[in-house]
Structure 1
Amino acid sequence: MIVMIKGKVKYPITLDPTVWIFDDRKIKLEEAFELKEDKQEEYSGFQKPPVNRSISKMEGEEFLKNSYVMPLNDFIHNAEPTSEAKTAKLVSGSDGSYETIAYEDLINGYFLFSNNGKPLKEDGPVHFYYRDGSNQDNPVKYIKEIVID
């Protein structure tokens, strides 16, 4: 259930989407594509990871019934891609198949990591959505690696 970021980066990174449920940067799936531009800027700007804080029982119950996406900008920024980065391969599964997207689409995109409060075990660990929601009905699934080219 991990996702690697590698390729033309200074620091290869391993992501564990199972812990994102407690991350304040997550966004409800149904709200992600409705955000106004200024609000999207707030979510996609580089931020420090949240500090551990107590979660109320009500918040915990909400986490277990909603679907959430995570903006990718912070993670890609932390990997420090080289200035040569133009595209990214979203590698799916063990067969090495991939979908190539523009680097700009990657840093502005979202990973779905929780569907109805549960990790994406069958077709995950994450699904990729473009920021504009243009692939909302057909996200890239089974993503195991991001290779920045």
Structure 2
Amino acid sequence: MENIIIISGKVRYSITLDPSTWIFDDRRLDLTTYFTREEETDNTIEEYTKAVSKHWDREIMEGAVFPPTLKTEKKFEKEKVLTGTFGMLFKPFLQNSEPEADAAFLIIKTKDGELELPLKEADGLILKFSDNGKPLTADGPVHVYFGDGSNVKHPIKNVTEFIVK
């Protein structure tokens, strides 16, 4: 039961979260690159042209290269799951709990205390559940990051419950 987190309070449905099952979820985020990605530019046509030119040049020099087989893609995905650092967006879980109209805050309850956030900010939260392929057993089951990455070095740890207030 230590790995289970509950969303409760001013919600229509109390939800029980089990982060140990999220490794199989396609919505997981790769946190090794999530906070370091650069903003996308509007030069999509230029980028497309460069990519096509590079591919064309390679085919002229080396000949056509066939895409990898599905077998190698599955192997790569399995390795990534076993060694990756992953998180999940909190927003879908919060939406499924259906907060009441007068709910304004989210309380993140931890073993060390509580942190209160405006409910609008809670949509951007990311719940880290895996570090280098291992579940967060020592100070988990999840670490909470703000969507802007402002607390990447000091995430909220030892989370036990989310209470909508």
2:108 equivalent to 1:90: yes
Cα 1:71–1:36 shift into 2, 3 Å: farther
Cα 1:18–1:35 shift into 2, 3 Å: farther
Q: Paired residue for 2:162?
A: 146
**What SS is found at the alignment partner of 1:82?**
coil
User: What letter is aligned with 1:105?
Assistant: E
Structure with the bigger percentage of helix? 2
Q: Within 5 Å, give how 1:67-82 maps onto structure 2.
A: 67-82=85-100
Structure with the bigger percentage of strand? 1
Q: Paired residue for 1:116?
A: 132
* Structure 2: gaps of 5 or more residues: 41-72
* Structure 1: gaps of 5 or more residues: 38-54
Q: Paired residue for 1:17?
A: 19
Identity %: 39
Kindly state the Cα deviation for residue 101 of structure 1 after the two structures are TM-superposed: 1.4
Cα 1:77–1:36 shift into 2, 3 Å: farther
Runs of 4+ that moved beyond 6 A: none
Give the number of aligned pairs. 130
User: What letter is aligned with 2:141?
Assistant: P
Q: Paired residue for 1:126?
A: 142
Of 8, 11, 25, the residue aligned with 2:10 is: 8
Kindly state the Cα deviation for residue 103 of structure 1 after the two structures are TM-superposed: 1.0
User: What letter is aligned with 2:125?
Assistant: G
What's the TM-score, normalizing by structure 2?
Answer: 0.74
Kindly state the Cα deviation for residue 85 of structure 1 after the two structures are TM-superposed: 1.6
Kindly state the Cα deviation for residue 87 of structure 1 after the two structures are TM-superposed: 1.1
1:129/1:135 contact within 8 Å kept: yes
1:32/1:69 contact within 8 Å kept: no
Deviations 1:96-130 (A, max 9, x none): x2111121221111000001111100000001100
Kindly state the Cα deviation for residue 56 of structure 1 after the two structures are TM-superposed: 2.5
1:2/1:125 contact within 8 Å kept: yes
1:68/1:115 contact within 8 Å kept: yes
1:85/1:148 contact within 8 Å kept: yes
User: What letter is aligned with 2:89?
Assistant: P
